[in-house]
A and B are shown apart, each in its own frame.
Chain A
Amino acid sequence: MTTPAGADAPPHDVEEVTKQAQVTRFMPGQPDMWAFVLFETLVITSYFVVYLLFRTQHHELYLQAQADLDLRVGIFNTIALLLSSWAVARCVQASRAGAYRSALTNAVLTIFFGFVFFVSKVLEWVREIRMGNGFTTNEFFQHYFFLTSIHCLHLLIGFVVMGVVVYQLWSPKRRSQELVETGATYWHTVDFLWVLIFALLYVVR
């Protein structure tokens, strides 16, 4: 940008400057969604703080209860959601490049991996309840069921959000890049929150 054609081609230069300014100031999707991400992350982090606080008080109980959780299921969940996040990132890229067919396929893939996560989560809940670990069994499982279900609620809202993305990509009349990116931002948040929950509930022992 420093060398160019400045003096002899001013209009071109102005165009370049605007373009560069757009690149440096670029924020994917509506900035408003980022406000949501920040606020919701703060709220969920406060749940984590409460969990860790009580965990330090009854360390033994939490360790024993945690032994009933299957780390492999947690890893499978994480991979499913990471794949969905990867698909939604590809969806945004494709839609930016104007390859709407591929964007649509990736949006559907995102929903599919999200659904795989959801089914495996429900199966895990059923398994835990059959093992006698219900919502009221002990403090660890209170937190386990609470955190996983509040996350699942975010996931279900994510399906609605991805529905909006698919609706946008479907018809050439709509295709708002901003809305596609806003939806992707939300979906990444769902994934990001899961990674934290996975680390806290399954890995930290």
Chain B
Amino acid sequence: MSVSVAEEVAPLEQPSGSPISRFIWHCRNNPKRELWFAWWTTVVFYNFFTISFFVLSRTQPPANPALDAQGAADWFEKNHYGVLVGFGIMFLVTGMTAPQNALIAYSMRRMSISPAFGYSYLVLYSLSAVPGMLLLCIVLTVGAMRPGRDPELQQWLFDLGFLSYVGTMGVFLVGSIVWMLAILIDKNRVFPKWFGYLNLCNALTEVVVSPAWIFHDGVFAWNGLIAWWIDMVVFGIYTGVFITLLRNMIRREDFGTGALPDLPLKQTLETSGLAEAAS
């Protein structure tokens, strides 16, 4: 099955011409267009995410949890427009997480494993976006909307926003473990096994965030060195790696049911290596 489909796909030569005409050609003819659409949506989403959270709203790195009521009220005043504009953008693009989750679930459906893995991941990550991201956006927007509000109330919104965002990292944990298990038992070589183990590293850092529920300051608070900074570095590496590996998966996809072929480049290298060895 895989071979016949691959043969059908191979003869499609892309036309030469202007980039726009080539783009239109791909939209019409490329059998992987839906996959590429999902992948590009992921890339665009993470760019918006970075701009909204790190640059505009200044919610990453998170504000200081030790701030008193007046401090929290001042924080909202200072970041008034950043929060409104940054999260305004987030509300527009949050839906872009759906194709991303779909693509990851697709990667698991392409494996030699039970469909239950893909479905579990899809449900887990769809629900996780609510406490893991949306709640922060909504609550901090509410805080920024009326800067003159009672500081006690502003602090309440401040705590709810940041704690819901950082403190609920655990909701992503099981999803990472589901992906890890899927990769480790898969026989179709959709992802390298080391990426399965990297999922475990990522899941473990999500456990490390949980002390943020107890501490107001120090390394385990929600902006702490261990609970936030180290985790963010690991998450950044993990995200970069999985986006790259999903891209490779799409390039390797042959729409079959057996093992995924290697990348064309790797194949040429291997054959040339074999040729050298033979001569």
Contacts and interface: CB of A to CB of B under 8 A. Distances in A.
24 contacts: A30-B193, A32-B193, A32-B197, A35-B197, A36-B198, A36-B200, A36-B201, A39-B201, A40-B201, A43-B201, A43-B205, A46-B230, A47-B230, A50-B230, A135-B214, A136-B214, A142-B211, A142-B220, A146-B208, A146-B211, A146-B220, A146-B226, A150-B204, A157-B200
Interface of B: 192-194, 196-198, 200-201, 204-205, 207-208, 211, 214-215, 218-220, 225-226, 230, 234
Interface string A85-111: 000000000000000000000000000
A35 B194 contact: yes
B230 A43 contact: yes
B65 to A, nearest CB: 14
Nearest to B219: A50
Which 5 interchain pairs have the tightest Cβ spacing? Answer: A36-B197, A32-B194, A32-B193, A35-B194, A50-B225
A54 interface: yes
Contacts of B197: 32-33, 35-36, 39
A180 to B, nearest CB: 15
Nearest to B224: A50
B151 to A, nearest CB: 26
A142 B218 contact: yes
A83 B208 CA distance: 29
Contact of A32 (B196, B205, B207, B211): B196
Interface residues of A, number: 22
Nearest to A50: B225
Contacts of A150: 204, 207-208
- Chain B contact residues, majority secondary structure: helix
Contacts of B211: 135, 142, 146
B194 A54 contact: no
Nearest to A143: B219
B233 to A, nearest CB: 8
A12 to B, nearest CB: 20
Contacts of B207: 150, 153
A36 B194 contact: yes
Interface string A149-179: 0100110010000000000000000000000
Contacts of A146: 208, 211, 220, 226
Contacts of B192: 32
A184 B219 CA distance: 33
A163 B201 CA distance: 20
A139 interface: yes
A51 to B, nearest CB: 9
A47 B227 CA distance: 10
A171 B194 CA distance: 26
A185 B201 CA distance: 16
Given A36-B201, A150-B207, A54 B193 contact: no
A146 B208 CA distance: 8
Instruction: From A43, A136, A154, name the one whose CB has the most chain B CB atoms within 10 angstroms.
Output: A43
